Amino acid sequence: MSADKKTVANSTDSVHAGVPVTRPHHSLGLSIEPTATFTFANTAELERYMRGEDPDPNREEYGRYGNPTVCELERRVADLELAEDGVAFSSGMAAIATAVLSLVKAGEHIVLFRDGYRRTRQLVTQTLARFGVEHSIVPSGDLSAMSAALRDNTRLVIAESPTNPHVFCVDLSELANIVKARGRIRTLVDSTLATPINCRPLEFGVDLVVHSATKSLAGHNDVLGGVVVGPQHLISLLRDARGVLGSVLDPHAAFLIARGLKTLGLRTERQNTSALAIARALEAHPRVERVFYPLLESHPSHPAARAQMRGGGFMVSFIVKGGRSAASRVIDAVKIPKIAASMGGVETLIEQPAIMSYSELSEEELANVGINPALVRLSVGIEDTADLVQDLLQGLSA
């Protein structure tokens, strides 16, 4: 990693960041607190709590406002991202939706980059539009277009880095500088594909970072969750909104995500290595038209990725020559990857966005959102690198 990059988390942080020195009953592992409500010894204790005078900072009244298991997960992710505070939600989309609802109101304006998760785009362009929130969509990573799109009523810029599915990396420092110069605008960066092992966006001046904890943080494709981290005064707004909206994370899910965090560093290192090897092998194959991976020199956001990413992450997307049907044949021919949605887990997953994620769109509509019908999205797991490369090459040759 070059000297001009910011720091990133490592395997030691994955295991120990945010973990208390001692837990109740001196347990090594995190305990699950499956309770919907919390008791008070007497009325005086309740009154102290309601006045904010309870000596226990983790004291809660009701499960929708907090839970000890969830609180530890929030501290751990916040520490991994070098954030003051964090708040967890029942899914990644619950995290994004609550953040946006907490920062924007009717008559205000959001700027969103073109390439990104389709549900985030639908939230902004369809759901929020019904309530009078305006928006502009600009090309992926185009900060000049983003700057030009800012208005007097702009309150939020949403970006992913890297993006889904074309893995564009936005220049986070420049993004933050442009937005801060305008004042009264917040930046929200979805760093799900990066993880704090590869990049910590807050260090570049971003206001809030969101993770779909379903993906790499949990890492085993067996739980849903989301986390937003940032400065305490902003996170408190999101925590209050969570109490109203009810998008609280279940303590059992929090336990699974926290357990997954322990191997985040190891898993990410393997995925970084395998994904880059796969991307280079695909780029050299005659039946592949184009490969999208941020650490390939051919990727348009390669300079930004090299400047701020420790590794390129787990996602590789590529276009198969021959169109939609040819891409489908490749997916059907590979043996190791499973055809499934989601990403970031220990199993390698594969899908054709035109068929799965964007199945309701026509060819023209796919073009409008930048999805080639022959695009294949690969979420690289932790299987042996050579096995994955060999399987993909035989799939292309089948």
Active site residues: 64, 117, 190, 215
Close Cβ partners of 43 (under 8 Å, ≥ 6 residues apart): none
Q: In what order do the strands lie in the sheet with 375-379?
A: 288-292, 315-320, 375-379, 349-351, 338-339
Answer whether 199's CB lies under 8 Å from 309's CB.
Answer: yes
The residue written with tokens 């073009």 in the block is 367
For 302-356, give the secondary structure using H, E and C: HHHHHHHCCCCCCEEEEEECCCHHHHHHHHHHCCCCEECCCCCCCCCEEECCCCC
Answer whether 64's CB lies under 8 Å from 243's CB.
Answer: yes
Q: Please count the other Cβ atoms lying within 10 Å of the Cβ belonging to residue 304.
A: 23
Sign of CA dihedral 214, 215, 216, 222: positive
The token pair at 201 is 């966006």
Rounded Cα distance, 268 and 219, in Å: 10
The token pair at 130 is 């019904």
For 184-209, give the secondary structure using H, E and C: CCEEEEECCCCHHHHCCHHHHCCCEE
Answer whether 64's CB lies under 8 Å from 239's CB.
Answer: no
Answer whether 257's CB lies under 8 Å from 217's CB.
Answer: yes
- Produce one character per residue of 36-45: b if its CB has 16 or more CB atoms within 10 Å, e if not: eebeeeeeee
Answer whether 138's CB lies under 8 Å from 348's CB.
Answer: no
Report the residue count for the chain: 398
